[in-house]
A and B are shown apart, each in its own frame.
Chain A
Amino acid sequence: MWSRLAYTFRETGASLRRNVTLTVAAILTSAVSLFLVGGTFLVQRGFDNLLSKWAGGVQMIVYVNPTATPDQITNIRTVLAQNTNVVDVSKLDYLDYARSLEEAKRLFAADPGTLNLLNQTNLPTQFKVVPIVGKTDVLVQFEKSFAGLPEVKKIVLARDQIEQISKLRDFVQTVTVGLSILLLIGALILIWTTIRTAMYARRREIEVMKLVGATNWFIRIPFMLEGLIQGLVGAVMSCGFLLFFNRLWTNGVVKLKGDNGFQALVVSNSFLNFVMLMLLLFGMVAGAIASGIAASRFLDV
């Protein structure tokens, strides 16, 4: 057992050293492509945060002053619910203080300062209004009449915010997903080529191993470990890039003044850690599998 392990690590190390140029190229390509994959997840998450308050087809949000009494809140609900030809009453949702605070935590993830200042006296509660299908334009016409209700702080329409954000999100998503897929393919091809080159350089050795009765797995595993290491090192580098750029972005956003909506584009540390963990796992597994397949092609002796 120990001699097999020692053999595997020795062969992997020797092969990595022999193939320095290709190894470095494979690692750098994996790093950049995994960084883009991670970046795509973070951007996606940011946009999801930004749009989360509009999730479920919400087209209008009626913010209610924190000072509103339960009767006044009921009154607003009644007025909204009266318009059964425009408002989908079954989806009319009221977010009380607790739920509004929950949402604020997502939206202000980057701005704990602001988040700490929020309390029951200054955080508005909200009604989320979903129009009946096809009635969005009609709902918009009701904006002014709802705004006049007692204790309504303000009304925000999805149309004004969502369209631009969605367009931007779609564009960014297409570019980052497209680029990361291309680069990932490039990285896997490079890992594949590195392993093929390593195996070609050792074809005589592999032939002898096959003839004296080494199993295919015994031959394959050092190469798979080599691919795994390349993927892992690439993934560690990509996590470094991700941490660095995320910090730059977060610091930049925090410095912006006022409630400009950009705060929502910042992701929480737990999500960042989750993405980095996924990148590390993906890097290792993809590297090992790509090299395992490359190695198998050489073993038909």
Chain B
Amino acid sequence: MIRLENVTKIYNSEVTALRDATFDVAKGEFVFLVGPSGSGKSTLLRMMNRQEKPEKGAVWVAGRNINEMPDSKVPHLRRNIGNIFQDYKLLLNKTVHENVAFALEVIGRPKHVIRQQVPAVMDLVGLTGKQDRFPHQLSGGEQQRVSIARAFVNRPLILLADEPTGNLDPGTGEGIMRLLDRINKTGTTVVMATHDQRIVNMMRKRVIQMDRGIIVRDQARGVYE
């Protein structure tokens, strides 16, 4: 589903964020990217949805080299990739329902599709009954669920999560992980950057460990270390 080949990313011609990174992620796999801040986890995620382009190497998503993809095709690539962030990136002036529907609206999905898919995903993330609330009326965990609903409402092939439990207490974080696990079980590939040791150890999924831009460990059913 995702393949990185000798990917190197250098910022401002001096800071090397990634050095020669190579790995594959199979369809339906759940992968943790772990490592300290600044180790290159977020950069890796940004490579996968073409927010960044590498200086060297190739990034393949669903069989296509996305670095050679023309800019006009990038929106179509991104419709197959959901994104979840530590700070949720919700639109504060929109209700829960509007936030989720927004993701379908801006890619031109017709109203009847929106009416059908939004309640279904709200049910999946456990927010039924809260669709008319605004983000500030929700807890952090609930806001992250809205963010997950928005990322998943278009049924993407891949979900990229950047520290999704970073702002949450341990219990709430576990709830979010159970939700991501359920989504993963529907066949969606999940790549999640985190330095939440407890969660990695609890999930026992594949772990790719980064250190100063280099992949230092790639382990199936791994733990944080």
A207 to B103, CA, bound (A): 12
A201 to B130, CA, bound (A): 27
Contact B106 A7 (CB under 8 A): yes
Check B83 for interface membership: any CB of A closer than 8 A: yes
Chain A residues with Cβ under 8 A from B51's Cβ?
A: 211, 301
For residues 194 through 233 of chain A, which have their beta carbon under 8 Å from a beta carbon of chain B? 204-205, 207-216, 218-219
Contact B108 A211 (CB under 8 A): no
Most B CB atoms within 10 A — which of A4, A205, A208, A219?
A208
Give the residue name and chain of the A residue nearest to B89 (CB): A208
Give the residue name and chain of the B residue nearest to A207 (CB): B89
Contact A213 B79 (CB under 8 A): yes
Query: Given known contacts A211-B49, A212-B150, A213-B75, is B89 in contact with A3 (CB within 8 Å)?
Result: no
Contact B91 A205 (CB under 8 A): yes
A213 to B107, CA, bound (A): 6
Check B110 for interface membership: any CB of A closer than 8 A: yes
For residues 73 through 87 of chain B, which have their beta carbon under 8 Å from a beta carbon of chain A? 75-79, 83
Check B221 for interface membership: any CB of A closer than 8 A: no
Contact A214 B89 (CB under 8 A): no
Check B105 for interface membership: any CB of A closer than 8 A: yes
Query: Given known contacts A208-B89, A301-B51, is B102 in contact with A4 (CB within 8 Å)?
Result: no
Give the residue name and chain of the B residue nearest to A3 (CB): B111
Check B154 for interface membership: any CB of A closer than 8 A: yes
Give the residue name and chain of the A residue nearest to B113 (CB): A3
Chain B residues with Cβ under 8 A from A219's Cβ?
A: 106
Question: B108's contact among A216, A218, A301, by CB below 8 Å, is which?
Answer: A218
Contact B110 A3 (CB under 8 A): yes
Give the residue name and chain of the B residue nearest to A218 (CB): B106
Contact A208 B102 (CB under 8 A): yes
Question: B154's contact among A208, A210, A212, A216, by CB below 8 Å, is which?
Answer: A212
Contact A214 B91 (CB under 8 A): no
Question: A214's contact among B49, B77, B83, B106, by CB below 8 Å, is which?
Answer: B106
Measured CB to CB, the closest approach of chain B to A216, in angstroms, equals: 8
Measured CB to CB, the closest approach of chain B to A3, in angstroms, equals: 5
Give the residue name and chain of the A residue nearest to B160 (CB): A211
Contact B108 A4 (CB under 8 A): yes
For residues 59 through 99 of chain B, which have their beta carbon under 8 Å from a beta carbon of chain A? 72, 75-79, 83, 89, 91
Contact with B along A109-123 (1 / 0, CB 8 A): 000000000000000
A204 to B103, CA, bound (A): 13
Chain A residues with Cβ under 8 A from B106's Cβ?
A: 7, 209, 212-214, 218-219
Measured CB to CB, the closest approach of chain B to A29, in angstroms, equals: 29
Contact A3 B75 (CB under 8 A): no
Question: A204's contact among B89, B107, B150, by CB below 8 Å, is which?
Answer: B89
Query: Given known contacts A207-B89, A212-B150, is B105 in contact with A7 (CB within 8 Å)?
Result: yes
Measured CB to CB, the closest approach of chain A to B152, in angstroms, equals: 11
Contact B91 A211 (CB under 8 A): no
Contact A210 B110 (CB under 8 A): no
Contact B78 A211 (CB under 8 A): yes
A219 to B74, CA, bound (A): 14
Measured CB to CB, the closest approach of chain A to B98, in angstroms, equals: 11
Measured CB to CB, the closest approach of chain B to A15, in angstroms, equals: 12
Give the residue name and chain of the B residue nearest to A208 (CB): B89
Give the residue name and chain of the A residue nearest to B104 (CB): A212
Q: With A4-B108, A207-B89, A212-B103 given, can you name 15 additional A-B contacts, CB distance below 8 Å? A: A3-B109, A204-B91, A208-B89, A208-B91, A208-B150, A209-B106, A211-B83, A212-B83, A213-B79, A213-B107, A214-B75, A214-B106, A214-B107, A218-B106, A301-B51
Q: 14 interchain pairs (CB within 8 A)? A: A3-B108, A3-B109, A204-B89, A208-B91, A211-B51, A211-B78, A211-B83, A212-B83, A212-B106, A213-B78, A214-B75, A215-B75, A218-B107, A219-B106
Which B residues lie at the A interface, using CB under 8 A?
Answer: 49, 51, 72, 75-79, 83, 89, 91, 102-103, 105-111, 150, 154
Q: Which 10 A/B pairs are nearest by Cβ-Cβ distance?
A: A213-B79, A213-B78, A214-B106, A212-B103, A213-B75, A215-B75, A209-B106, A211-B83, A213-B107, A3-B111
